[in-house]
Amino acid sequence: MFGNELTFAEVMTVTVVGMGVVFFVLILLTGILSLFRFIPNMEEAPAVTTSPSATPSPVSSVNPLHKAIIVAAIFDNEDINEKKNYVRIKNIRRIS
């Protein structure tokens, strides 16, 4: 079949078979990747139900200065400084 000279039919056969293999593998990969949505997320924490009396009240009795000190202590932690790209400040407003 494949001697020194190839006919047009042989060239087209190799081309069609090669393209068929590539598209078959692509369709197979698409199917495998679509099955990943059925794998449960292991990092997701289970939902914890709390009673209404256990939830904190929205009115905070913490002094704003104490809040600032707590935030500064959190950002002073070396682990957060190493991962500073993971900390994102979305809003800055004056606490008075």
Angle at alpha carbon of residue 80, lines to 75 and 86, rounded to 5°: 110
Backbone dihedral angles phi then psi of residue 86, each to the nearest 5 degrees: -90, -10
- The pLDDT of residue 32: 94
Whether the per-residue pLDDT at 49 is higher than 80: the answer is no
Whether pLDDT at 28 is above 80:
yes
Question: Is 39 or 23 the better-scoring residue by pLDDT?
Answer: 23
Q: Determine the distance from the C-alpha atom of residue 40 to the mean position of all C-alpha atoms in its chain, rounded to a whole number.
A: 14
Task: Note the pLDDT of residue 47.
Answer: 62
Tokens of 45: 């924490």
**What is the reported pLDDT for 5?**
87
Output the CA torsion sign for 63, 67, 92, 54: negative
Q: How confident is the model at residue 21 (pLDDT cuts 50, 70, 90)?
A: very high
Provide CB contacts within 8 A for 96, sequence distance 6+: 64
What is the DSSP-derived secondary structure letter of residue 50? -
Q: What is the pLDDT of residue 18?
A: 97
- Domain limits, the chain: 8-38
User: d(Cα 76, Cα 31) in Å, to the nearest integer?
Assistant: 47
pTM of the complete model beyond 0.75: no
